């Protein structure tokens, strides 16, 4: 029996996500949401969970970032080659879009674990000669195009994904909607739960809503209202036709526009946010819904630098399978921890030199800031007072590496990238600052291991969780972050990293950041190396055992899937 035949027989949980970061060469992700989905799949493979993953092929990728001489982001398509990594399956299904049949074929990608287990990922593709030319483009661009394009993609993902699973013979009991993008999946499930003899004047009584709710798990990933997909019912009617009566949709997804988050909330029996604070915020945004929290985690084997992996392997050969054993990392000897870190730092410096021509020093602390470039993450906060930053740099030299993509339609993000260029020029000769273009999984792994300090400055409570700081901690890179998302749970100030707490919170964060850097973080680096290494070990041994995707998946299994 092939791995796939075994998966078809075994899988009982289907995880639907618009994006998933499988490997750097497969451009089916844009950022944190996709990396989380990828880490979920990697842990599912390690733990041999009966799961199948469904996403879009996104053959033209998300964004290929280049920086112009003036420091502006120039973005283009970022194609990848499915034939190198996946194989097309013979089965096809059709969904109705604007009254036409749109055919969908899945490609099979296997997420393999070193222990020999694997989970399948189905990548849905509409680029088939059976389809009209515009329909062949539906699965090209991740988060590309207008509302109509996005709605078509979400039909392919949700409705098409459900049909594909049936056509392949999967018998799924639980459907996990990773963010609202997948919420149209509830519509075929509703139709499967139709009551034949119901009174057709009552929109909701025609369906066994409870049966759908029993099958769906919904994870919401953002408290930013603009992050929820919403579609005009006019558009829905044109594109989706009468797949489900409008009255039913309005009752479930909001009266004025189809809100994908609302739809998912109403049809999922288990709903969670991705950190404790995020679940609290979500409960305030959606009163009356039961929303619990499962804090995100990262896949330790993927995000731990080889130099640290070797240290762990020599003591706990099974450490990556049992990340709990990282609790003993506080017993590592100082020299081997520092040496492992300097190996990772040297690798990052080499990458910076080849990719940007900049030569940074290995004996000067390196601050990393790599984020999706968008307003609420406040990418410019560290540069809010250049004079002050210069004074600090003269006292305690430091270097900064910046990276991150802006969505081509996000003007705030594009502005931040352009502004970096000016800040870099103004600090010329005072502090070395480099922008590393093309932030992706590969660069992320190098950055989270090779910096000394990992900076994060979101505006609370808008960072749902964040995960890059967890990756940094695994490598003994110390977080310096505003208290939001997962950091509220992971931060013991002065032990696992540092908090930035402005007075007042929000506007005061810039001053608090400078004070922490000048009075605490940089002096520790220069004057108390044993104290610094002690904190590195605290970060690994306290954050690693908890903020990993094995722990996260065991909670989804016991609380959400086995419900």
Ligand X SMILES: *Cc1c(COP(=O)(O)O)cnc(C)c1O
Contacting positions for ligand X (CB under 6 A): 31-32, 35, 371, 439-441, 444, 466-469, 471
| Non-local CB neighbours of 512 within 8 Å, separated by 6+ positions | 500, 501, 502, 503
Residues whose CB is less than 8 angstroms from the CB of residue 452 and which lie 6 or more positions away in sequence, other chains included: 341, 345, 365, 366, 367, 477, 478, 525
In the bound state with ligand X, the residue whose beta carbon lies nearer, of 468 and 538, is 468
**Token digits for 269?**
């029996």
User: Would you say 178 or 467 has its CB closer to ligand X?
Assistant: 467
CB of 10 to ligand X, least distance (A): 29
**Residue 460 contacts residue 433 (beta carbons within 8 Å):** no
**Taking the complex as a whole, how short is the minimal distance between the CB of residue 299 and ligand X, in angstroms?**
10
Rounded CA gap, 138 and 146, in Å?
11
* Cα–Cα distance measured from residue 444 to residue 125, given in angstroms and rounded to the nearest whole number: 28
Nearer to ligand X, 325 or 457 (CB): 457
Residue with Cβ nearer ligand X (252 or 553): 553
In the bound complex, what is the minimum distance in angstroms from residue 373's beta carbon to ligand X? 10
Residue 376 Cβ vs ligand X, minimum distance, rounded to whole Å: 11
Which residues, listed in sequence order, are joined to residue 401 by a DSSP beta bridge? 368, 434
Which residue lies nearer to ligand X by CB, 329 or 467? 467
Are 170 and 52 in contact by the 8 Å Cβ rule? The answer is yes
Q: Which is nearer to ligand X, 156 or 298 (CB)?
A: 298
> Shortest Cβ distance from residue 454 to ligand X (Å)?
9
Q: What angle do CA 78, 84, 89 make, to 5 degrees?
A: 105
- Residue labelled with tokens 């804090």: 295
| Lookup result for tokens 């094995």 | 550
Tokens of 123: 């990548």
CA–CA distance, 510 with 380 (Å, rounded to integer): 10
State in angstroms the smallest separation of the CB of 311 from ligand X.
22
Do strands 292-293 and 270-273 pair parallel, antiparallel, or not at all (unpaired)?
parallel
List the beta strands (DSSP E) in 18-78: 51-56, 64-67, 73-76
8 Å CB contact between 498 and 520: yes
CB of 513 to ligand X, least distance (A): 17
Pick the closer one to ligand X by CB: 7 or 499.
499
Distance (Å) of CA 158 to CA 16, 177, 230, 442, 537: 8, 9, 15, 29, 44
Q: Is 38 or 82 the residue whose CB approaches ligand X more closely?
A: 38
Q: How far is the CB of 400 from ligand X (least distance, A)?
A: 16
- Distance from C-alpha of 461 to C-alpha of 468, rounded to nearest angstrom: 17
C-beta of 17 vs 444, nearer to ligand X: 444
Nearest to 399 by CA among 335, 474, 455: 455
Angle between helices 334-356 and 441-450 (to 10 degrees): 130
- Shortest separation between residue 328's beta carbon and ligand X, angstroms: 25
Q: Return the beta strands (E) in 220-339 as ranges.
A: 230-232, 257-259, 270-273, 292-293
Nearer to ligand X, 214 or 489 (CB): 489
Which residue is listed with tokens 């970032």? Answer: 65
Q: Which residues pair with 119 in a beta bridge?
A: 111
Give min distance, CB of 403 to ligand X, in A. Answer: 9
Q: Closest approach of Cβ 517 to ligand X, in Å?
A: 20
Nearer to ligand X by Cβ, of 113 and 441: the residue is: 441
Nearer to ligand X, 6 or 442 (CB): 442
From the CB of 226, what's the least distance to ligand X, in Å? Answer: 17
- Calpha distance 518→525 (Å, rounded): 11
Which 8-state DSSP code applies to residue 298?
A: B
**Shortest distance in whole angstroms from residue 469 CB to ligand X:** 6
For residue 298, count other CB atoms closer than 10 A to its CB. 32
Beta strand pairing call for 118-125 and 100-112: antiparallel
**Please, what's the b/e burial string for 445-468 (b: 16 or more CB within 10 A of its CB; e: otherwise)?**
bbbbbbbbbbbbbbbbbbbbbbbb
Nearer to ligand X by C-beta: 17 or 468? 468
């Amino acid at each position: 029996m092939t791995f796939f035949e075994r998966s078809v027989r075994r899988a009982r949980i289907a995880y639907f996500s618009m994006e998933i970061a499988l490997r750097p060469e497969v451009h089916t992700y844009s950022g944190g949401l996709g990396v989380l989905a990828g880490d979920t799949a990697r842990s599912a493979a390690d733990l041999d969970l009966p799961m199948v993953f469904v996403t879009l092929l996104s053959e033209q990728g998300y964004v290929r970032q280049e920086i112009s001489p003036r420091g502006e982001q120039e973005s283009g398509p970022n194609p990848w080659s499915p034939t190198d990594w996946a194989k097309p399956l013979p089965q096809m299904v059709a969904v109705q879009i604007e009254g036409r049949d749109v055919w969908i074929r899945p490609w099979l990608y296997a997420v393999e674990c070193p222990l020999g287990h694997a989970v399948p990922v189905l990548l849905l593709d509409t680029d088939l000669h059976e389809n009209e030319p515009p329909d062949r483009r539906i699965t090209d661009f991740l988060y590309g195009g207008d509302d109509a394009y996005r709605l078509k993609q979400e039909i392919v993902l949700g409705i098409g994904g459900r049909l594909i699973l049936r056509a392949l013979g999967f018998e799924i009991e639980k459907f996990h909607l990773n963010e609202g993008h997948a919420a149209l999946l509830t519509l075929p499930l509703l139709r499967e739960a139709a009551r034949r003899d119901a009174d057709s004047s009552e929109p909701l009584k025609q369906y066994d809503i409870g049966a759908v709710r029993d099958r769906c798990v919904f994870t919401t990933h953002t408290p930013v209202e603009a992050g929820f997909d919403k579609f005009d019912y006019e558009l829905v009617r044109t594109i989706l036709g009468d797949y489900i009566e409008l009255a039913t949709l309005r009752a479930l997804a909001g009266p004025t526009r189809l809100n994908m988050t609302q739809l998912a909330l109403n049809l999922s029996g288990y709903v969670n946010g991705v950190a404790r604070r995020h679940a609290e915020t979500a409960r305030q945004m959606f009163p009356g819904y039961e929303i619990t929290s499962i804090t995100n985690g990262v896949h330790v084997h993927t995000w731990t630098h080889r130099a640290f992996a070797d240290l762990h392997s020599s003591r706990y050969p099974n450490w990556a399978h049992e990340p709990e054993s990282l609790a003993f990392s506080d017993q590592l000897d100082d020299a081997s921890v520092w040496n492992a870190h300097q190996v990772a730092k040297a690798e990052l410096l080499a990458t910076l030199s080849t990719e940007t021509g900049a030569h940074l020093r290995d004996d000067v602390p390196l601050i990393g800031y790599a984020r999706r470039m968008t307003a609420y993450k406040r990418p410019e906060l560290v540069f809010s007072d250049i004079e002050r930053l210069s004074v600090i740099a003269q006292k305690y030299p430091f270097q900064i590496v910046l990276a991150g993509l802006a969505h081509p339609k996000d003007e705030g993000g594009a502005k931040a990238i352009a502004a970096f260029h000016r800040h870099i020029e103004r600090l010329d000769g005072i502090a070395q600052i480099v922008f590393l273009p093309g932030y992706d999984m590969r660069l992320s792994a190098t950055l989270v291991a090779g910096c000394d300090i990992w900076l994060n400055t979101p505006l609370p409570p808008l960072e749902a969780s964040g995960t890059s700081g967890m990756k940094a901690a695994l490598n003994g890179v110390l977080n310096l972050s505003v208290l939001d998302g997962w950091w509220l749970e992971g931060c013991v100030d002065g032990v696992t990293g540092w908090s930035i707490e402005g007075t007042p919170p929000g506007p005061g964060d810039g001053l608090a950041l400078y004070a922490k850097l000048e009075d605490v973080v940089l002096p520790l680096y220069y004057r108390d190396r044993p104290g610094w290494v002690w904190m590195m070990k605290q970060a690994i041994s306290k954050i690693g055992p908890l903020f990993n995707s094995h722990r996260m998946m065991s909670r989804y299994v016991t609380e959400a899937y086995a419900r």
